[in-house]
Structure 1
Amino acid sequence: MERSKSRMGKWVHGLKAKLEIVLFQRGLLLFVIGFLLGRAVILTQVTPFAIPFFGAVFFLKRERAPMIMIALLAGAASTSNFYNTAFIMLGIIVFLIINRFIKLSSLSLVRTLPILVFATSLLGRLALSLITERSLMNTNWILAAVEGALGMILTIIFIQSIPVLSMKKRTAALKNEEIISFIILLATMLTGTIGWVVYGFSIENILSRYLVLIFAYVGGAAIGSTVGVVTGLILALANVASLYQMSMLAFSGLLGGLLKDGRKIGVGMGLLIGTLLIALYGSGPEFLYPNLMESAIAVLLFFCTPSGITSQLSKYIPGTVEHANEQQQYLRKVRDVTANRVEQFSNLFQALSSSFTDVDVQQDDQSEREVDYFLSHVTEKTCQNCFKKETCWAKNFDKTYDYMTGIMHELEQTTELKNYSLKRDFDQHCIKANKVIDIIGKEMSHYHANRMLKKQVRESRKIVADQLRGVSHVMGDFAKEIQKERDNLHQQEEQIMDAIQSMGLEVGQVEIYSLDEGNVDVEMKIPACGGRGEGEKVIAPMLSDILKENIVVKKEVCAEHEHETCHLYFGSARDFIVETGVANAAKGGAWISGDSHSTIELGAGKYAIAISDGMGNGERAHQESTETIQLLQKILHSGIDETVAIKSVNSVLSLRNTDEIFSTLDLAMIDLQDASAKFLKIGSIPSFIKRGDRVMMIESANLPMGIIPEFDVEVVSEQLKAGDLLIMMSDGIYEGVKNIENPEFWMKRKIRELATDKPQEIADLIMEEVIRTEYGRIDDDMTIVVARVKRNIPKWSTIPIYSAPSFRKKKAQ
């Protein structure tokens, strides 16, 4: 059974491929269209379709022009109207002659084609009238001008519509102009079927209604009624008796599009109802039966149409589900390609990081090799010309080597050899002992410099490896974010809109980008609120009740005029918030302080507090500390881990500094979801945490930034609680209380005695206390940053909505 199905599928696929080759590649479809357009006549004697179609094919697919000429002449000849056949033949000849002159004059056929068709049709019609009637009357001139003008317009229409038929696949949606042009082309084809009757039923009527059914089913009421109007109008021009068809086709297309949700049955019922109403009103009861039968045949053909054809056509009509899915598939493909490229770059940076990391694999061998190189350099200056060289290095190699390495290691620590037993033994072993020891001592400085240089190179490579690894992780996370598909949340959007509107608020549009717990992202458009704060006071509390978590307004763009809309951006509120207060003073009361500070709320739900103290005072120290803070901000915003960020800042400063100006850095990273904190203190004094009457001190030992290229950053972690106070300060504070024997104990006592919990008041009180201690003198730049961790309590209470839907949300990763 499965084999027979697979064989049938292969057979259908092969037949479809052969049909596509015959219709598109070999031009059979264009031949059929040409044949029907050769038959098409409007206003009893005007043939405006043949020459424009030939011109469009000649411009787009010149190799098909001979076949189209045969199709047009065959179609005209099938009507037994030799006058139209002669006009088409004469028109094609005139077209080719004029095109030859245009080609010789180097004019562009793209711009001149409509004018060329107009001139061809005008000259061909006038020449034929002159040959047959021996004279030209005013009606001949008017008819020729009308036909030429129609031909010029139809040329533009055919140029846009032929590619729709001839192209096998399209990647973009059809424009409105292309849709209308395509409909006009199909309608003009139907005029070629006028007069075809089978068992008393008009093929023209059946095909026109079938065309309306297809487009109403694919594009809805707007497209269906448009196809009905255009098709009915063109058929009415070809046959005045079919004028009532325009009303019926337009009305049927409208009804069919409105009943599109009923699938093919609903669209078919729309045509039958439209036919029944218009036929009774326009043609009378005697024409009701043939009209209903023609509509029924059209509906039967519509039911027999494979769904693959309608689905394929729907992909090119904007506004359809198939078109939206096609666009989504295209965007998904672009997204996957982009994510793969980012992932490749991430792997590249990871590989580069690994290549820099594999530095110390052969560290021991390298150290031994360096000793050997050093001793060989010493022996070149001492032992090379010694008569006891053979005895020392051939017969007693191990003993001589051990003596010299021992002397080398002794002189590494001191400038002269203090191990007298080693010196005595070496004097007995070597006749040039003093000279060898002097040479080793002199060469030791070069040896130390060489080792220091190699160590700096290894440390620099390690820094680069850490930075590349950090970039790789950021790019890897970015690739994962790209690959996350936006959920199809249209139903939830409608439910939220209905729930809010049920409370009497008008909402224009709701767009949900994420409903993950702790990472809600909703955009909304509302009518101009006039600054009343409806989003913060009403809509956010309603969303909080619907989504069962605190929702706040992240951003609000108010309308400038009454007829515009306000844009509101809602997101999840953090469980904790941080309030800060800052107090600073420059040395001697100057304007410029060498300290810099910053409070940064990062996008990952973290809050960073940083203080940097440039070495010294004044403008240069201020510039150094400011650059340190700014560089740290940019690196942290990129998503790189804070430890790697500090090492990167340190490496930049150490490479940049040509004089000894360094910076300290005191960084605290607070997670706003659980209030956990990390402290990274680089050459800075301790920080303090006040929890009730208890004061804790946070300290670590790290050198200031920029002194050495590489150092291990000691990270101190602490779990903060709601109500905790974090006090961070620069080392100028301790300089301000240098007369106090134990400044840490004194600071803890002052913090414990604080009677307020407001950060700004605390910063001002501590600063004032420090300045008073030194009787108003300010001997160094001083900065104090106080942060208070609080539970995030919404300003507005949740507004319950009893008809609100319940959403099952995922936790944010």
Structure 2
Amino acid sequence: MEKVLGNYVEPIQERKIIDYRLTMHNFLEATKKRLEILFIKRGLLLFIFGFMLGRAFILSTLSPFSLPFFAAAYFMKKNKTPAIFIGLVSGALTVSIPNAIYSFGIISLFLIIYRIGSNLAKNEMRALPYYVLGSIFIGRLLWHFIETSNITLYHILMSGIEASLAFVLTIIFLQSIPLLTMSLRKQSLKTEEIVSLIILLASMMTGTIQWEVEGLTVSHVLSRYLVLIFAFTAGATVGSTVGVVTGLIFGLANIESFPEMSLLAFSGLLGGLLKEGKKIGVSFGLLIATLLIGMYGEGASILTMSLYESLVASLLFFLTPKSLTNKVAKHIPGTAEYSAEQQQYMRKIRDVTARRVDQFSSIFQTLSKSFSKQAPLDDYDDAREMDYFLSNVTEKTCQMCFKKENCWVRQFNKTYDSMTSIMTELSDNDGVLSSKTKKDWSQHCIRSDKVVDSIQKQLHLYQANQKLKKQVQESRRLVADQLLGVSEVMSNFAKEIQKERANHEKQEEQLIDTLQSFGLEIDHIEIYNLEQGNVDIDITIPYCGGMGQCEKLIAPLLSDILGETITVYKEECAAFPHESCYANFRSAKKFVVDTGVAHAAKDGGFLSGDSYTMIEIGAGKYALAISDGMGNGERAHNESYETLLLLKKILQSGIDEEVAIKSINSILTLRTTDEIYATLDLAIIDLQDAKSKFIKVGSTPSFIKRSDKVIKIQANNLPIGILQEFEVDVVSEQLKAEDILIMMSDGIFEGPKHIENIDLWLKRKILEIETNDPQEIADLLMEEVIRTRGGYIEDDMTVVVAKIKHNNPKWKTIPVESIRKYA
């Protein structure tokens, strides 16, 4: 019974705990939002800053902080200036009534000068510091005159110093005030912005210099707390900078606070160096700095009080929520929080981009379907077109004939069928009509010759119209194929974009630890892909002095770690010692292709009608192609070159090869009405498994030499540009290492003279060639064919030879476990 009850009680308790946590989370989030509205949107934070800056002085007499803060806020956040104005005057009032009067007067003078100057200055932001400079200088001299009824050189000098400081502070506050609403910012902070923010915070803290609680100086506690926050979030560099800047401003405000600068700078440095120890390590750095600096003080009582102040600052630091320190850290470059924020931002951009690309892919796919929808030509359409054709003929011949009623009423079927037969016969026989048809038609029609001539004229128009319709249909099909191909490419691209890179963070850390355990210095590793055969890794290392450790050490180590051969795909070596080297490592393809080419123009000319290309296309594939334009000379060269150029661009874009060839055929068909065409011999080799596709469009056979036998590859496709619609015949073949692929134009295949069986002759010649070098094979074949012609080159000749080889890396894999064993 207890067991049964326990099964019910435990889930209820767990549910209560979950509900309690959810309630607390909602409460904290609501409180956070209310505080954010109160402090940021309602301006309470700016009011507090204004109040403290109203109390801030330098050398106990100069007050250069209040007006720059008001001026910068007035320029950027006019709706918050009433709260700031009240805060500044209230803060000055806590010091003395004359100070409050001075603050009120100096702000009023600034508003007058700003209103006058805004009508004259083109750039208000650049003019703002000068408005502050003039307001402080004039206002302080007037104040001295009111107090003493006299203006001395000392008064002018001090007014100039205060105005100059206010001029600089205005520029600084213009950068730092927007940072007070950091929760709304998403970009990183520059070094200048961080320093500006620290100056603003330190200036605000000078308003607490006169405050003490139980003998503890509030300004010392707050300044040390500020150093702890930045040392913990940003490290030693920023921590020591914060300490120096804060201590300097405190020293200017009160000469007795100058020793505090050493303590703050040292504690920022030690705290930043000990930040790996979390909050305890940073606080320990502050206490050590307090003890070391305190030893040079005036007595044990001062050291004890300084230790108490550091302990209170550490206590406040421990009470600071982690969310606040993380929020500060993610805006400072170099921190882990900043990197995570940037990755999240990049991930969001990536997802948005992928969605947009996918949307465009859907649009192109829809457009492709729209263009591919063509109304089928049924019997009704054929009959209607025939009626239009005959109506045009009869309009010019039968309308005025006296036998019209006899032919088209009594003998309608016979007349209609006879004229249809005449049209068909003229169309099939190039405008020639048989004697039998002429005789039968003359017996039926008294204007037979006139009707035949009219049919023949209308037939030309009819055929031109039909050809135009076919071209329109072909254009629609071309556009549909192209749009579909683009849609597929964009869809694949969207999938590539959406591949999650952040999932490899653990593997990145493991790789860094493994490589560093061998003494290699690694700055950064980014893993983009770990799929077998498709590894993609970026590694940044310090300056190596050109020792080639990426190829000699890192790639062999990665090969053993990942279980496949890894090579350096791209490398950028640093030119100077303070720079970093960058290398991209990818999976080595199992096969490589060595090529050789021999070609010659007809009669030894310079311009050949044959063109060839050898390109590496995406996804680890290698393409070889030969195109032979019709005839010889410049026009044939342009035709073949244009064909291969289109093929190269389309294949490299990622469109399927069959769609690419159909698109090229459509383009060449529509581009001109002349009877021109080009052959295409295309071989695509997969470098991962050596599987190959051969697409032959009107081209000659190819041959594969494998040890002591020769394999013939051929397909039946008409040349490109002849037919508007054709199916691409693809031949697949599994190649092996050391296979030699030989592709040739018709000048080579049909070149040998007095040879009955060219296939056997070519196979025998290929087997007799003893060398395995592709270039030598191409030269020898070319030479043999030219020799059979008595040294004459009677047609354009091109032969492309490719040898398939295993990809053997230069450096052997370094076994990780064996090295660790002897390490």
Instruction: Name the counterpart of 1:16.
Output: 32
Q: Conserved in 1, the CA contact under 8 Å of 2:57 and 2:253?
A: yes
Instruction: Name the counterpart of 1:810.
Output: none
Cα deviation, residue 187, structure 1:
1.3
Q: Show the 5 A alignment for 1:35-46.
A: 35-46=51-62
Q: Do structure 1's residue 749 and structure 2's residue 764 form an aligned pair?
A: yes
CA shift in 2, pair 1:779/1:196, >3 Å: same
Moved more, 754-763 or 357-366: 357-366
Secondary structure class of the residue paired with 1:117: helix
Secondary structure class of the residue paired with 2:725: coil
Q: Which amino acid aligns with 2:609?
A: G
Cα deviation, residue 108, structure 1:
4.2
Q: Conserved in 1, the CA contact under 8 Å of 2:753 and 2:788?
A: no
CA distance in 1, matches of 2:411, 2:612: 66
Q: Show the 5 A alignment for 1:658-737.
A: 659-737=674-752
Q: Show the 5 A alignment for 1:122-161.
A: 122-161=137-176
CA shift in 2, pair 1:652/1:435, >3 Å: closer
Instruction: Name the counterpart of 2:88.
Output: 72
- Selected match of 2:773 from 746, 751, 758: 758
Query: When the two structures are superposed, what TM-score results if normalisation uses the length of structure 1?
Result: 0.89
Secondary structure class of the residue paired with 1:668: strand
Cα deviation, residue 532, structure 1:
6.1
Secondary structure class of the residue paired with 1:484: coil
CA shift in 2, pair 1:111/1:432, >3 Å: closer
CA distance in 2, matches of 1:407, 1:208: 107
CA distance in 2, matches of 1:231, 1:567: 39
Q: Show the 5 A alignment for 1:607-618.
A: 607-618=622-633
Secondary structure class of the residue paired with 1:673: coil
Secondary structure class of the residue paired with 1:42: coil
Secondary structure class of the residue paired with 1:264: helix
Q: Which amino acid aligns with 1:575?
A: K
Moved more, 517-526 or 347-356: 517-526
Secondary structure class of the residue paired with 1:609: strand
CA distance in 2, matches of 1:4, 1:429: 104
- Selected match of 2:795 from 780, 786, 795: 780
Cα deviation, residue 728, structure 1:
0.8
How many residues in Structure 1 have an aligned counterpart in Structure 2?
803
Instruction: Name the counterpart of 1:210.
Output: 225
CA shift in 2, pair 1:214/1:343, >3 Å: same
Q: Conserved in 2, the CA contact under 8 Å of 1:460 and 1:709?
A: no
Instruction: Name the counterpart of 1:651.
Output: 666
Q: Show the 5 A alignment for 1:257-272.
A: 257-272=272-287
Cα deviation, residue 437, structure 1:
7.6
- Selected match of 2:805 from 790, 804, 810: 790
What CA deviation, in whole Å up to 9, does each residue of 1:466-502 have, x standing for no partner? 1111111112212222222334655545554554555
CA distance in 2, matches of 1:311, 1:435: 96
Moved more, 485-494 or 752-761: 485-494
Secondary structure class of the residue paired with 1:779: coil
Moved more, 557-566 or 94-103: 557-566
Instruction: Name the counterpart of 2:65.
Output: 49
Secondary structure class of the residue paired with 2:537: strand
What CA deviation, in whole Å up to 9, does each residue of 1:81-111 have, x standing for no partner? 2343343233224323433442454464422
Q: Which amino acid aligns with 1:248?
A: L
CA shift in 2, pair 1:139/1:324, >3 Å: same
Q: Conserved in 1, the CA contact under 8 Å of 2:471 and 2:670?
A: no
CA shift in 2, pair 1:363/1:317, >3 Å: farther
Q: Do structure 1's residue 170 and structure 2's residue 185 form an aligned pair?
A: yes
Instruction: Name the counterpart of 1:227.
Output: 242
CA shift in 2, pair 1:394/1:324, >3 Å: farther
What CA deviation, in whole Å up to 9, does each residue of 1:129-184 have, x standing for no partner? 23323334444333323222222221112121112114651121122112111111
Moved more, 92-101 or 715-724: 92-101
Secondary structure class of the residue paired with 1:552: strand
Q: Do structure 1's residue 627 and structure 2's residue 647 form an aligned pair?
A: no
CA distance in 2, matches of 1:315, 1:558: 31
Q: Conserved in 2, the CA contact under 8 Å of 1:463 and 1:710?
A: no
CA distance in 2, matches of 1:593, 1:628: 14
What CA deviation, in whole Å up to 9, does each residue of 1:351-400 have, x standing for no partner? 22111111144545433433343354455567667888789878997887
CA distance in 1, matches of 2:57, 2:818: 63
CA distance in 1, matches of 2:215, 2:535: 65
CA shift in 2, pair 1:288/1:735, >3 Å: same
CA distance in 2, matches of 1:31, 1:568: 52
What CA deviation, in whole Å up to 9, does each residue of 1:638-697 have, x standing for no partner? 111112222222233333345444322211111111111111112211111122222222
- Selected match of 2:480 from 461, 465, 470: 465
CA distance in 2, matches of 1:749, 1:605: 33
Q: Do structure 1's residue 196 and structure 2's residue 196 form an aligned pair?
A: no
Cα deviation, residue 780, structure 1:
1.0
Instruction: Name the counterpart of 1:60.
Output: 76
Moved more, 170-179 or 563-572: 563-572
- Selected match of 2:496 from 469, 472, 481: 481
Cα deviation, residue 606, structure 1:
0.9
Cα deviation, residue 505, structure 1:
5.6
Q: Conserved in 2, the CA contact under 8 Å of 1:487 and 1:514?
A: no
CA distance in 1, matches of 2:638, 2:508: 50
Moved more, 429-438 or 563-572: 429-438
Instruction: Name the counterpart of 1:809.
Output: none
Q: Conserved in 2, the CA contact under 8 Å of 1:121 and 1:151?
A: yes
Instruction: Name the counterpart of 2:4.
Output: none
Cα deviation, residue 275, structure 1:
3.6
Cα deviation, residue 565, structure 1:
5.8
Q: Conserved in 2, the CA contact under 8 Å of 1:613 and 1:664?
A: yes
Q: Which amino acid aligns with 1:325?
A: A
What CA deviation, in whole Å up to 9, does each residue of 1:695-715 have, x standing for no partner? 222112222223344332221
- Selected match of 2:783 from 761, 768, 773: 768
Secondary structure class of the residue paired with 2:748: helix
CA distance in 1, matches of 2:258, 2:732: 85
Secondary structure class of the residue paired with 1:29: helix
Secondary structure class of the residue paired with 1:282: coil
CA distance in 2, matches of 1:13, 1:525: 41
Secondary structure class of the residue paired with 1:553: strand
Query: When the two structures are superposed, what TM-score results if normalisation uses the length of structure 2?
Result: 0.88
Instruction: Name the counterpart of 2:342.
Output: 327
Instruction: Name the counterpart of 1:808.
Output: none
Cα deviation, residue 10, structure 1:
4.7
CA distance in 1, matches of 2:437, 2:66: 117
Q: Conserved in 2, the CA contact under 8 Å of 1:690 and 1:751?
A: yes
Q: Which runs of 5+ in 1 are unaligned?
A: 806-813
Cα deviation, residue 451, structure 1:
2.7
Q: Conserved in 1, the CA contact under 8 Å of 2:679 and 2:720?
A: yes
Q: Conserved in 1, the CA contact under 8 Å of 2:603 and 2:792?
A: yes
Q: Conserved in 1, the CA contact under 8 Å of 2:475 and 2:670?
A: no
Instruction: Name the counterpart of 1:89.
Output: 104
Q: Do structure 1's residue 239 and structure 2's residue 239 form an aligned pair?
A: no
Q: Conserved in 1, the CA contact under 8 Å of 2:44 and 2:83?
A: no
CA distance in 2, matches of 1:275, 1:283: 14
Q: Conserved in 1, the CA contact under 8 Å of 2:522 and 2:539?
A: yes
Instruction: Name the counterpart of 1:605.
Output: 620
CA shift in 2, pair 1:323/1:419, >3 Å: farther
CA shift in 2, pair 1:678/1:368, >3 Å: farther
- Selected match of 2:388 from 361, 373, 380: 373
Secondary structure class of the residue paired with 1:783: strand
CA distance in 2, matches of 1:16, 1:568: 45
